[in-house]
Amino acid sequence: MKNIILVGMMSSGKTTLGKKLARALNYQFVDLDKLIEKDQGMEISAIFVQHGEAYFREVESRILKETALQKGIVLASGGGTPCFFDNMDIIRHMGISIFLDVPAADLARRIENHGKDDRPILSGTTSLVDTLQSRITDRLPFYTQADLTLKGEIDVRHLLEVISPLL
């Protein structure tokens, strides 16, 4: 029973797809950001404001290492999780890693539909698409280390077909 770890930018569908995939496989769904919020007793945005990104990334890495001990999970990582410390190595050893590759314009549309106020990384940005494209460019060397890359809109049935031989 291999874990499945979803990586990619914010609003790439890690949580939405992860929940559906976990149900289909009878796995437990785990959202890394929710674990961090529970551990810290506050929302991600508050952690950034009160303690800064460096502190957040240390907590994120610790929680990821603790989560790596679990079996039978679908994990939605945070957008930046693979890019810090040895997190991508941990992710790759946890199970099957899947990069959800969504274009910046699509991400921007999704974020605007949900409201970007809860995204501390985006506060103060003027051009959302440009900011997202810049982040994608910076993070791509980490994301592309995933076992699989899926582009655009991904449906659970298709994902199950792709990963079934690997489970």
Q: Average pLDDT, stretch 103-114?
A: 90
Taking only the tens place, the pLDDT of each residue in 125-137 is 678 899 999 999 9
What b/e sequence results for 57-93 when a residue is b if at least 16 CB atoms lie within 10 Å of its CB, and e otherwise?
A: bebbbebbeebbeeeebbbbbbbbbbbbbebbebbbe
User: Domain residues for 158?
Assistant: 3-166
Amino acid at 137: T
Segment 54-93, tens digit of pLDDT: 999 999 999 999 999 999 999 999 999 999 999 999 999 9
Q: How many domains does the chain have?
A: 1
pLDDT tens by residue, 8-62: 999 999 999 999 999 999 999 999 999 999 999 999 999 999 999 999 999 999 9
Q: Residue 121: is its pLDDT beyond 80?
A: no
Sign of the dihedral defined by the CA atoms of residues 35, 36, 39, 45, in that order: negative
Backbone φ/ψ region at 82: left (φ over 0), alpha (ψ -120 to 50), beta:
alpha
CATH number for the domain spanning 97: value is: 3.40.50.300
